[in-house]
Chain A
């Protein structure tokens, strides 16, 4: 109902939609950019685009899915203008020894299971290089499939899988490092 009223330009209904969806859109922007000021600007831009484009929403998908995709496109467009994804894509295509699998991690007491909390994970994601972070956020947090990410990012499905793997490897290393640092302080 609020969507139909917002489509007719009803400001109260638009405010209600903002109230319902602002947290998810802002979190997406914040996680993808890792920057509060940019995330606020992009959230604002996403909702302004929503206001301008809501009349084109045909209900073929859930409204939240449609809005979410709109917000992702706003962020990706912004990042493209900044030139970040291209640089990061190239960077992450290069094999990096530090992110590669490490065979010595096989010791059973060195597995991560049960040791991650939300704050540590958020912090580790924030410190990922932008190219890794974007793919990780889109796939593992937001639930996009590799074919959708490939389409949005303009890369191959294989590239999306490869970057996601590197992002998870990097996170694994960061989380283990953080755990070891904490243990050494005790």
Chain B
């Protein structure tokens, strides 16, 4: 079997494996085996592309207004849903600064809020088993504080926030790597801004929950 013959049938056997002749060619031909390795590698990497980007709050606003217009829900019965409005089209640098500032403010407020909890809560905690201080993998120290806040106010949401924080931290790491590799890439910078924006949004949502 030649490379041309093998590559002609490749689309139909790449994921399932071929017959004896095709497998024999694959084993003996470095060109075709490298080609198959590349295609399988791309497919494997694609499976790891988890959804990372949330839709703009405009989407939810549009859904709500459409449902209200159609009379499917009452305006008064507007569902409570924390969708902080993100800033418009700032220049990239200002946006990044804005998100970073927002993140810092959110962290600061959460820390302040924790420090100003009523003494009764603290005394209740004394008799309780000490909470585990283990930092979950994939989150930093501030994230851990945030998760503790979420646990106190909305225990059911903790796992969701933890998953989201891990995902967004991974996204930030990937985007930082992309920026480091290609500092002139506007797209890489946009990914980084988007990643920080998502983290700021998570903090904002958690903060809104803890101040309720």
Interface residues of A (CB under 8 A from B): 9, 11-12, 14-15, 18-19, 22-24, 26-28, 30, 39-40, 43-44, 47-48, 51-52, 101, 103, 105-108, 110-113, 116-123, 125, 136, 140-141, 143, 158, 161-162, 164-166, 168-169, 171-172, 175, 182
B80 touches A15 (CB 8 A): yes
With A and B bound together, what is the CA distance between A172 and B187 in angstroms? 20
B91 at the interface (CB under 8 A from A): no
With A and B bound together, what is the CA distance between A37 and B142 in angstroms? 34
B11 touches A165 (CB 8 A): yes
| Interface residues of B, dominant DSSP | helix
Contact of A48 among B3, B34, B63, B182 (CB under 8 A): B63
Contact of A40 among B49, B55, B182 (CB under 8 A): B55
> What 1/0 flags go to B58-81 for Cβ under 8 Å of A?
111011001100001110011111
A165 touches B77 (CB 8 A): no
**How many Cβ-Cβ contacts under 8 Å join chain A to chain B?**
145
A112 touches B38 (CB 8 A): yes
A136 touches B46 (CB 8 A): yes
Sorted nearest first, the 4 A-B pairs with minimum C-beta distance are: A165-B11, A27-B51, A106-B31, A15-B79
Task: Offer 23 A-B interface pairs, CB within 8 angstroms, sorted by A.
Answer: A11-B67, A11-B73, A11-B78, A18-B63, A23-B51, A23-B52, A23-B54, A44-B66, A103-B3, A106-B30, A106-B34, A106-B35, A113-B41, A117-B174, A119-B187, A119-B191, A123-B187, A140-B42, A140-B43, A158-B12, A172-B38, A175-B42, A182-B181
With A and B bound together, what is the CA distance between A19 and B154 in angstroms? 15
Interface size on B, residues (CB 8 A): 52
Set of chain B residues within 8 Å of A161, measured between Cβ atoms: 11-12
Set of chain A residues within 8 Å of B106, measured between Cβ atoms: none
With A and B bound together, what is the CA distance between A166 and B42 in angstroms? 12
Set of chain A residues within 8 Å of B174, measured between Cβ atoms: 117-119
With A and B bound together, what is the CA distance between A161 and B16 in angstroms? 11
Set of chain B residues within 8 Å of A141, measured between Cβ atoms: 46-47, 49
Q: A26-B54, A119-B178 are in contact. Are A44 and B62 (CB under 8 A)?
A: yes
B193 at the interface (CB under 8 A from A): no
B79 touches A168 (CB 8 A): no
Set of chain B residues within 8 Å of A175, measured between Cβ atoms: 42
